[in-house]
Structure 1
């Protein structure tokens, strides 16, 4: 069933789920009581793609009240269970809330991160260790929604896992089924969270195609490229079919860039994988090192950055003081300075707008480790640090966990680094206390301990409600 939710504007909720057969009219029954689902919303969106084993059904429920608890049930589910969701919070500078953030979170269990790995991989789970999906699920009553800023499921690792002896070998053609199986396993695992908490997602490089940007079998001296991918497993096809993010409501584009308000914060999801614009020849391949063979998706040059500027300019900071941006690839990170790791093109096109419109926090991943940096601009650290800085605060947390484990950060850490670690799986929690204080926590998935915490103070000028 793979049930998942997504905000669809202040008075809407997108309900998505998968079925083995096409539905002529996907239907969701809903209401304010679990015993009286007396409303019905329908659509004609039941879509699939070549090699997919399921149909993705999407129904938007509209006309809801903000911050209201509703109960719902898709029509074609076997369990008969009634689920619930709460709509987004209205604009308010007074109501505190929390949200969870992950990047680089992949499949857990027999086809992903577990207590053993194949030859050449590292960082398996310890026996009995809680994985990130389990950790977030145990804490879901504490946060309003889950934000996944790229690299979802890691189904494109299927060939690497076979080469390393972690999964049984198949033919390249049969690999298409393995890829889809891993996707289905991941979304099924996530349903424990995403059936009751909106799941907001962004594109990462591992959504692009079936082959991890290229995979090498060193024993047999074979390098595989995107050319092995079956129809339907290139160009972000699964990602584009599986989700319906609020791009229509925010003037964005598909599941690639969009924004939404939630209480005292404005959240922006950016696309660091395609459509960077500004004259870059291969915006779908930052640095030109990863053969993603994907995009562009925009209708014209600079469409994403033009949208970003318009979106930022429209935020009324007197009522919505916080602006939080998520984009998969970092540009400030204690890692080797190579194009597949550090996205200088992203820095060039996005950073000036972040400064111009006083973005508060920028979240990224891609590097499978955790690093909290100082607020900064163009490699210059804000002298105020977290005490009312003028520059955006940068945090990279790609340590959520998947089959390939963690990356090693480069030591000594960069001068702008304030805390970094590359030995534990974990996820981020944001706490919006009020119009001036925001706390970021890095939580260890294995035992729920707090590995790092920091609070940002900003003198936002707000108006009374």
Structure 2
């Protein structure tokens, strides 16, 4: 099957020729799915031209797509090279295989229908697995590859022929129901750093957005074999907030670090807000920033560690925060996120969904060499009391480009039960998926609450696999991308009534 991608087309033709080159004004790329409750699915894709009525044809058999769903959502933003099209399909059967195609692909013989499976109904006790990545960037010529620019350790590159994380996820996608990516998506904001280090050719600051958008398109094209068939649930990270990795230093022109060079449309999570649709409407959340959903015996919660912490705290990506990205707030109601989070956790039916799993981009427990610049203590102050109060089972994070599995913890105190029916939440940080800069260093000796760690010394990129066996047992695996080997495994037991 011939596949056209935005990235390949951008490379093949000049930007001025894009409109002429786009057959029928649209070329499919970057298909991605997201759950919209147990009986719904968001289908999103990108085109070079605005669609008046984005439409998806779908059905229960591949040769009879006899149902349609449409919307009027075909949106773009300044400096974007494409339009983001979003269609919500409703009234589906839970845990059911459907076939689908956006309408303008029906007449292209090179495209066969894609497929997706809807969410498992809440309470279904059948075993399932979920893949989790954090801090996953573009692979190849504009990201993580076998070479790098000046100043990056050789330990932070791929070996010749090494399978990267995106390729690993594609290889093992039959073994997980959906992919969860809580922040730092694509790392397009590394474009200037990559140019300064000689990894990418230099361009003018005014034309830098072409490089930024090209990296984004590369990443979403690379992800399409996965996201076209598996729901891709995302959360916000700091690298979605801005275009230039937090600031720009131009000593020649005396431009300080905290003056952004970002073009209009590349600040305040603009690309992230346009590119995705998450089930916030279905769960009472806000945009792509905080939401929840049920899947089988598990309640999944995505929180926003970057903005909207409330309670008088300045979030890391808000004006005055440690990243100073001038992002948010995305809900003007006082303490909106934590009020929502408490209400959401309070109404979880622990008989139907005994497991409660939360992800947020930034950690607050970590053995990190640069802990002061990585750990989010304000996030701990805001979120941890609610996690303890409502018996959250597992908290996942990234931000630090390492892997560390910790003990269950409450207010910094190790739960003496360990993984054998603890009362405190279990914490795991896995930001080792891979991007241009590679991996970070852990602090040695590891903190007393740490149980296993991998960092730049191990030269191993990887992802997490969560397997929910039944109502009492759940296993976390660290899967090495290059080999598929499980380098760390631990099982949490909870005594359920």
TM-score (norm 2): 0.90
Deviations 1:294-322 (Å, cap 9, x if unpaired)? 11111222100000000001101011100
Look up the match of 1:213.
Answer: 246
Q: Displaced runs of 4+ in structure 1, greater than 6 A?
A: 217-222
Look up the match of 2:422.
Answer: 389
CA distance in 2, matches of 1:259, 1:218: 45
Look up the match of 2:33.
Answer: 5
Aligned partner (choices 140, 147, 154) of residue 116 of structure 1: 147
Look up the match of 2:475.
Answer: 439
**Structure 1 residues 70-79 or 16-25, which shifts more?**
70-79
CA change 1:313–1:107 in 2 (3 A) is: same
CA distance in 1, matches of 2:50, 2:76: 8
CA distance in 2, matches of 1:226, 1:193: 37
Instruction: Please show how residues 35-74 of structure 1 align to structure 2 within 5 Å.
Output: 35-74=63-102
Instruction: Please show how residues 244-283 of structure 1 align to structure 2 within 5 Å.
Output: 244-282=277-315
RMSD: 1.5
Look up the match of 1:457.
Answer: 493
Measure how far apart 1:187 and its partner are: 0.4
Instruction: Please show how residues 150-161 of structure 1 align to structure 2 within 5 Å.
Output: 150-161=183-194
SS where residue 30 of structure 2 aligns? Answer: coil
Deviations 1:85-114 (Å, cap 9, x if unpaired)? 000001235200000000000000000000
Which runs of 5 or more residues in structure 1 are unaligned? none
CA distance in 1, matches of 2:291, 2:195: 36
Deviations 1:190-249 (Å, cap 9, x if unpaired)? 001000000000000000010111244789986544520000000000000000000000
Look up the match of 2:126.
Answer: 95
Residues 10 and 88, structure 1, Cα contact 8 Å, conserved in 2: yes
Residues 226 and 291, structure 1, Cα contact 8 Å, conserved in 2: no
CA distance in 1, matches of 2:320, 2:439: 22
Instruction: Please show how residues 168-187 of structure 1 align to structure 2 within 5 Å.
Output: 168-187=201-220
SS where residue 306 of structure 1 aligns? Answer: helix
CA distance in 1, matches of 2:51, 2:241: 27
Measure how far apart 1:335 and its partner are: 1.2
Residues 209 and 226, structure 1, Cα contact 8 Å, conserved in 2: no
Instruction: Please show how residues 304-319 of structure 1 align to structure 2 within 5 Å.
Output: 304-319=337-352
SS where residue 260 of structure 2 aligns? Answer: helix
Look up the match of 2:181.
Answer: 148
CA distance in 1, matches of 2:319, 2:50: 37
CA distance in 2, matches of 1:445, 1:154: 19
Task: Say if 2:115 is the partner of 1:84.
Answer: yes
CA distance in 2, matches of 1:337, 1:402: 19
SS where residue 60 of structure 1 aligns? Answer: strand
Measure how far apart 1:387 and its partner are: 0.1
CA distance in 1, matches of 2:420, 2:242: 42
**Structure 1 residues 291-300 or 201-210, which shifts more?**
291-300
Residues 317 and 460, structure 1, Cα contact 8 Å, conserved in 2: no
Residues 203 and 273, structure 1, Cα contact 8 Å, conserved in 2: yes
CA change 1:190–1:396 in 2 (3 A) is: same
Residues 286 and 345, structure 1, Cα contact 8 Å, conserved in 2: no
CA change 1:389–1:286 in 2 (3 A) is: farther
Task: Say if 2:59 is the partner of 1:28.
Answer: no
Deviations 1:23-76 (Å, cap 9, x if unpaired)? 000000000000000000000000000000000000000000000000000012
Count of matched residue pairs: 461
TM-score (norm 1): 0.97
